[in-house]
Amino acid sequence: MTTNFQLAGFGGQGVLFAAKVLTYAGLLEGLEVSWMPSYGPEMRGGTANCSVVLSEAPVGSPIVTEPDVLLAMNQPSFDKFYHAVVPGGICIFDSTFVTDVAEHDGVAERAEVRLVPVPASTLALDNDLKGGANVIMTGVIVRQSGVVSLETAEKAIEKSMSARHLHLLDDNLKALRLGYDYE
Amino acid sequence: MAPKTTEKATEKVLMKGNEALAEAALRAGCEAYFGYPITPQNELAAYMSKRMPKEGGAYLQAESEVAAINMVYGAAASGVRTMTSTSSPGMSLKSEGISYLAGADLPAVIVNVQRGGPGLGGIQPSQSDYWQATRAAGHGDFHPIVLAPSTVQEMADTIHIAFDLADRYRTPVIVLVDGMLGQMMEPVALPEPGGATVVEKPWAANGHQDKRPHNTITSLFLVADDLEASNRARFARYEDIKRNEQRVEEYRTEDAEIVLVAFGASARTSRTAVDLAREAGIKAGLLRPITLVPFPVDAIEARIPQAKAFLSVEMNMGQMVEDVRLVVNGRTPVEFFGRVGGIIPAPTEILAAIERIAGDDACAKGGDA
């Protein structure tokens, strides 16, 4: 069993961190894992994306081209990766920024992809978690994909944070649970 | 020979390949690092810049790749473990210095986190410097040892081996990886700190204090007989290296009829392709050279009787395939599949290449019957 994740957004939205938490959670659950950022010139243009593979077998290519789970934190990421999601896959997106979905070319034909809109950036502001939309979405991914447990993800958050940011741990745990419990 | 890991150290952490290699180099006793920025290896130098001063070693961002490799020459001559790192275009600039290191019999480690070429090429992963590393690392009659890890863990383990081999055989050692391995994070159990092998270097120019004769480090031999003798002595060591240091990992090759040969990043997707082929009823296996120099000729030779074909899978237009053909020497077909420009060969397209070869073979048999 292998689950391929693609996490994408603007630089600064924290998709690399969200991906790291997910990867650490896989490691803590004893899975084979890989984390692979895009490091191409497009990063300078403002978008960042990261592939995560969680698998029971050794990871071949860490580069995900057909994700089982897509996180799109902005409209360009949704537009770029939505069509790559495998049939039966999940597309989680930040509905604060991704607004052009219903009219989007081809969405109607892709009924086999489950859309999960979450207004993560608005939720972050409303809950005094500025900049925490990425971790809220990590909670959503954990819940929707079911590959790792919430408890493991909580441990993974602490592992993924640098020492100088650890004072934000409680905020991150709050954000993670907020996303996990979002209906 | 893989470095020991303590119980605490075996707790796996997530690290980028570039950073894991840098930390492992420090733990292998690297005391001097010289480099110049280039994508996709920058994390390696950046990590060194943070950690090396705390370890009491020397870190210097040189004014160019040419300067950096010559600083490595100086540090190596003084007897310390030293290294540099770069990516493909930078490797060309270092080639003169690498030749001088070889000519002066100096141990040093050079890491090439390859990107696509030629010229400035791109910044995405590639294996297009295979020929450069194995055939033309610089002018003159020499070759370095070339190691090609394929996981982040192996990158960390390999750097220790690289320093040991460099010291033992007094030769530059190239660690050939690519942008994918450098940039990706995987779990890694770092080697124990302080586990560096200590090698006596009585030849080092590290201050004689009137207690011994001068040591001279040079690659200049103006007397023809002297130069020939130094070349012959070096090639005698190369024979030892060929005999003692071939490293290879085999995966499902015991009964393999189609034997894939791949190193580094393309070996990872080739391994997945081997599993797919086995599910499709094709007896495929993977032979993964860990040392590109010395090339694992013995392991390939051993598979020739059973192999209906070899398939070299690379991220270039076909380089290592020539070494496979040299070993096989016409006894069985040697095919090639590659992607270039920064593209990693996908397991499904490697599988298609395996199926095509298996199909050709079935047709050939059908024709005989």
Q: Show the domain range for A123.
A: 2-181
**Claim to verify: residue B123 and residue B215 sit in the same structural domain:** yes
- Contact flag B272-A61 (C-beta cutoff 8 Å): yes
pLDDT at B369: 38
* Residue A119 in this model has a pLDDT that exceeds 60: yes
pLDDT at B10: 63
**Claim to verify: residue B81 and residue B213 sit in the same structural domain:** yes
* Residue B6 in this model has a pLDDT that exceeds 50: no
Q: Which of A11-15, A130-134, B148-152 has the lowest mean pLDDT?
A: A11-15
pLDDT at A42: 58
- Contact flag B185-A36 (C-beta cutoff 8 Å): yes
**Claim to verify: residue B155 and residue B40 sit in the same structural domain:** yes
Mean pLDDT over each residue of chain B, to the nearest integer: 94
Residue B6 belongs to a domain: no
Higher-confidence residue of B6 and B341: namely B341
Higher-confidence residue of B158 and B208: namely B158
**Claim to verify: residue B74 and residue B171 sit in the same structural domain:** yes
Residue B156 belongs to a domain: yes
- Provide, rounded to the nearest whole percent, the portion of chain A with pLDDT above 70: 91
* Residue B1 in this model has a pLDDT that exceeds 50: no
From chain B, the residues in CB contact with A61 under 8 A are: 265, 268-269, 272, 344, 346-347
pTM for the model: 0.94
Mean pLDDT over residues A77-84, rounded?
A: 92
pLDDT at B238: 98
User: Going by C-beta distance under 8 Å and a sequence separation of 6 or more, which residues neighbour residue B178?
Assistant: B113, B114, B115, B125, B126, B127, B264, B265, B315
- Contact flag B184-A24 (C-beta cutoff 8 Å): no
Buried b (16+ CB within 10 A) or exposed e, B33-63: bbbbebbbbbbbbbbbeebbeeeebbbbebe
How does residue B363 score in pLDDT terms, banded at 50, 70 and 90?
A: low
**Claim to verify: residue B227 and residue B306 sit in the same structural domain:** no
In Å, what is the CA distance from A87 to each residue of A4, A50, A94, A109?
Answer: 13, 20, 21, 11
**Claim to verify: residue B129 and residue B89 sit in the same structural domain:** yes
Last residue of a domain, one of B215, B244, B273: B244
> How many domains are there within chain B?
2
Last residue of a domain, one of B223, B244, B265: B244
pLDDT at A11: 85
Q: Give per-residue pLDDT as tens, A135-148.
A: 999 999 999 999 99
Q: Give per-residue pLDDT as tens, B220-255.
A: 999 999 999 999 999 999 999 999 999 999 999 999
How does residue B284 score in pLDDT terms, banded at 50, 70 and 90?
A: very high
Residue B200 belongs to a domain: yes
**Claim to verify: residue B159 and residue B253 sit in the same structural domain:** no
From chain A, the residues in CB contact with B187 under 8 A are: 27, 33
pLDDT at B9: 45
* Residue A33 in this model has a pLDDT that exceeds 60: yes
Q: Show the domain range for B153.
A: 13-244
- Contact flag A59-B185 (C-beta cutoff 8 Å): no
Q: Give the span between the Cα atoms of B172 and B155, in whole angstroms.
A: 17
Q: Supply the CATH number for residue B292's domain.
A: 3.40.50.920
* Residue A115 in this model has a pLDDT that exceeds 60: yes
* Residue B59 in this model has a pLDDT that exceeds 60: yes
User: Going by C-beta distance under 8 Å and a sequence separation of 6 or more, which residues neighbour residue B204?
Assistant: B77, B78, B79, B215
Neighbouring CB atoms inside 10 A of B261's CB total 30
How does residue B111 score in pLDDT terms, banded at 50, 70 and 90?
A: very high
pLDDT at B121: 94
Interface of B with A in 239-278 (CB under 8 A): 265, 268-269, 271-273, 275
Calculate the dihedral angle through the C-alpha atoms of B169, B170, B171, B172, rounding to the nearest 10 degrees. Answer: 120
Q: Supply the CATH number for residue A140's domain.
A: 3.40.920.10
Calculate the dihedral angle through the C-alpha atoms of A175, A40, B84, B221, rounding to the nearest 10 degrees. Answer: 170
How does residue B360 score in pLDDT terms, banded at 50, 70 and 90?
A: confident
Last residue of a domain, one of B244, B265, B290: B244
* Residue A85 in this model has a pLDDT that exceeds 60: yes
Interface of B with A in 132-171 (CB under 8 A): none
**Claim to verify: residue B45 and residue B192 sit in the same structural domain:** yes
pLDDT at A104: 58
pLDDT at B196: 84
**Claim to verify: residue B311 and residue B231 sit in the same structural domain:** no
**Claim to verify: residue B301 and residue B360 sit in the same structural domain:** yes
Residue B308 belongs to a domain: yes
> How many domains are there within chain A?
1
How does residue A44 score in pLDDT terms, banded at 50, 70 and 90?
A: low
- Provide, rounded to the nearest whole percent, the portion of chain B with pLDDT above 90: 91
How does residue A105 score in pLDDT terms, banded at 50, 70 and 90?
A: low
Higher-confidence residue of B344 and B4: namely B344
Pairs from A80-86 (Cβ < 8 Å, separation ≥ 24): A80/A8, A80/A47, A81/A6, A81/A8, A81/A49, A82/A106, A82/A107, A82/A110, A82/A113, A83/A110, A84/A6, A85/A110, A85/A113
Query: Does residue B344 contact residue B265 with C-beta atoms inside 8 Å?
Result: yes
Residue B177 belongs to a domain: yes
pLDDT at A45: 52
Distance in Å, alpha carbon of A65 to nearest chain B alpha carbon: 10
Residue B2 belongs to a domain: no
- Contact flag B187-A65 (C-beta cutoff 8 Å): no
Residue B8 belongs to a domain: no
**Which DSSP string corresponds to A127-142?**
TT-TT-HHHHHHHHHH
**Claim to verify: residue B185 and residue B327 sit in the same structural domain:** no
**Claim to verify: residue B152 and residue B260 sit in the same structural domain:** no
User: Going by C-beta distance under 8 Å and a sequence separation of 6 or more, which residues neighbour residue B305?
Assistant: none
Facing A35 at nearest CB: one of B12, B185, B269:
B185
Distance in Å, alpha carbon of A38 to nearest chain B alpha carbon: 9
Mean pLDDT over residues B249-271, rounded?
A: 98
B261 three-state secondary structure: strand
